[in-house]
Amino acid sequence: MSCSPRDSEGQLDYRDPLIEENLKKISQVILITGGKGGVGKSLIASTAALLLSRSSNRTGLLDLDLHGPSSCLLLGVEGRPVESGEGLVPPVVEGVKVMSIDLFSRGRPLPLTGRAKEEIVKEMLALTSYGRLDYLLVDLPPGTGDELLTAAKYVKSNGRALVVTTPTHLAVNVAGRLIDILNSVSLKIIGLVENMSISDLQSPSRELARAKGVAFLGGIPLDPLLNSRGGSLERCELLSTRFAEALKQVLRNAGLRV
C-alpha cells in the first residue's frame, strides 16, 4: 500500500494503519465516479454490487456521497451496522455489505464542509469491517472533491476508477476534467461508461475515451422504466431491467467476474 501516513497538513494520522489493514483484505476497489450529478453513478454502483454478489463474489458497497447518499434507498437496506472487536460490521443485502452515512444520519441532511468530509471518509474507511472481499464498490458524489480525493489517496494499489458520463456535451466535457484529475493523483482508470445512451453511432463519450487514452466500456441505454421508477424498484425488478443487462456487459468488458 502506498498511502501517505500524513494528512494534508503533514500530520501523522492514527487511522492510516487501520485503513491499510482493512484495504489489504479487499482484492479490488472500484470507485464509481462522474463529473456531473444525475448521470447514474449510484444506480450503477448499487446494481453492479448486486450483479457481482449474484455471481458469487464477496462484495461490499461503500457510499461516500455524504450529502446525497442513495445506496440504502436503492437497495432497501433495513439493518444497522453492528459493533464488533474488528470494527463496525455493515448490514448485508443480497450478500452485499453496505456502509453509508445514511445508516447513521437516517435521512437527515448533513451540513459538512471540506475538512469534516475528509474526516468522515477516513472514519468510514478505518472503522468499517468488511472482512475479505473480492470487490468493494465506492459510490461517490459528482466531481473531484474531498470524498474522491481522500478515498483515492488510500486505494492506489488495489483501486481503479470507473468514469460514468452521459451522451451530452456538458457531461462529457466535465468527465474529461475528471479524467485529468484522476491521472494527476495517479488513480488508475478502469474505463469510461456512457449511461443513458441514445445512439451507438453518435457517442461523444467514445470520442472522449479515445482522446484521453481510456478504455470505452460501452453504453447503457436510457431505460424508460428507470426514468420513471428509479429508486422505487424492488431489487429483483432492478436486476431484470435492460439497464442491468447492459451494465453486466459493461462490467464484463471491464474484466469483472459477472
Residues that bind ligand ADP (CB under 6 A): 34, 37-43, 70, 195-196, 220, 222-223, 226-227, 230-231, 243
Question: 18 vs 198, which CB is nearer to ligand ADP?
Answer: 198
Minimum CB distance to ligand ADP, residue 223 (Å): 4
The cell numbers describing 202, all together, are 453518435
Question: 16 vs 102, which CB is nearer to Mg ion?
Answer: 102
Letter string b/e over residues 167-197, b meaning 16 or more CB atoms within 10 A of that residue's CB:
beeebbebbbebbebbeeeebebbbbbbbbb
9-68: contacts with Mg ion (CB under 5 A): 41-42, 65
Minimum CB distance to Mg ion, residue 189 (Å): 19
Per-position DSSP letters for 36-100, written without gaps between them: STTSSHHHHHHHHHHHHHHTT--EEEEE--SSS--HHHHHT-----EEETTEEEPPEETTEEEEE
Residue nearest to Mg ion (CB): 42
Question: 41 vs 58, which CB is nearer to Mg ion?
Answer: 41
62-121: contacts with Mg ion (CB under 5 A): 65, 70
Minimum CB distance to ligand ADP, residue 33 (Å): 9
Minimum CB distance to ligand ADP, residue 2 (Å): 29
DSSP reduced 3-state for 230: coil
113 burial (CB, 10 Å; 0-12 / 13-18 / 19+) is exposed
Residue 128 binds to Mg ion (criterion: CB under 5 A): no
